[in-house]
Amino acid sequence: MSTKPIKVVFSGMQPTSGVTLGNYLGAMRNFVKLQHEAQCFFCVVDLHALTIPQDPVQLRKNTLDMARLYVAAGIDPDVATIFVQSHVSAHAEMGWLMEVSCYYGELQRMTQFKDKSAKAEVVTTGLFTYPALMAADILLYDTTHVPVGDDQKQHLELARDIAVRLNNRFGREVVVVPEPYIPPREAGGRIMSLQNPTQKMSKSDPDESATIHMLDTPDAIRKKIKRAVTDSESEVRYDPEKKPGVSNLMVILSLCTGMSLDEIAGRYTG
């Protein structure tokens, strides 16, 4: 973890579909604490959502829902800044400056672009330049720390590379070089798919039973938990390699209740 003081935090979430339990436990829950420790900008990144076709009416609804979920998660609009990306034209303007400051080869090497373009029938240039706009989002606010998951680490590294390049080009600090924010181990966890616990829980998973959405009804959540993949053993223990399904449910229960993994194992074994 970086020793640089946490002064400014930026995080953005796409309004493409429902926020998942993984988004909440792994990220949003930590934001509630962070808002009192730093100047925080929490953005609904609707411009990023346009890398795939969107229904305008649905996108507007999803954007409003995402803003509401930030507040529902405990983020105070009087303490932190919650806003919509497209409402601040500087994001698009800065995005162009980032595009002309990074290299074709850098964008071409992005793992997420390779994965998504391989699955798409049509690949837009927006998907290719997505990391440049993400760099703009971050650098625009002199961000010192960015909460990132494994799938976004490479994009943050690109933002850092661009920042260093610009500072070297102009011979002074024109932008802040951001650091990744990695929460304390007990503050959050990596939540996996309920149906394939070796893969991260995703809001774009085609199997609806694999993902718990924050706007799911209590009955829907109960059904998904009951159908979650586990194993045939009666022993309950935390072992992500040998018992990924059980371990995933243990992490979820631990983060939701505050119980330790050992307490859960002792209570439910047998």
Higher pLDDT, 165 or 115: 165
Asked if 59 and 209 count as a contact pair (C-beta separation under 8 A), the reply is no
**In which element (H, E) is residue 9 found?**
strand 8-13
The per-residue pLDDT for 217 is: 95
How many other CB atoms are found less than 10 A from the CB of residue 172?
8
- Determine which one of 4, 61, 203, 223 is catalytic: 203
> Average pLDDT in the 114-133 region?
86
202 pLDDT band, cuts 50/70/90, is confident
| Residue pair 79/35 in contact by the 8 Å Cβ criterion | yes
Determine which one of 61, 114, 116, 226 is catalytic: 116
Question: Across residues 213-233, what is the average pLDDT?
Answer: 94
- pLDDT value of residue 213: 93
For residue 1, pLDDT over 50 is answered with: no
Task: Provide CATH code, domain 8-187.
Answer: 3.40.50.620
Residue that is written with structure tokens 């983060």 in the block: 255
- 226 assigned to active site: no
Model confidence at 207: pLDDT above 60: yes
Q: What is the mean pLDDT of residues 88-97?
A: 97
Active site residue 224: no
The residue extents of the domains of the chain are 8-187, 208-268
Answer yes or no: is pLDDT of 230 > 80.
yes
Of 119, 200, 226, 243, which residue is the catalytic one?
200
Q: Which residue has the higher pLDDT, 225 or 268?
A: 225
CA distance linking residue 62 with residue 18, whole number of Å: 8
**What is the third-level CATH fold of 208-268?**
Tyrosyl-Transfer RNA Synthetase (1.10.240)
Please indicate whether residue 203 is annotated as part of the active site. yes
Residues 177-200 have pLDDT tens digits of 999 987 765 555 689 999 999 998
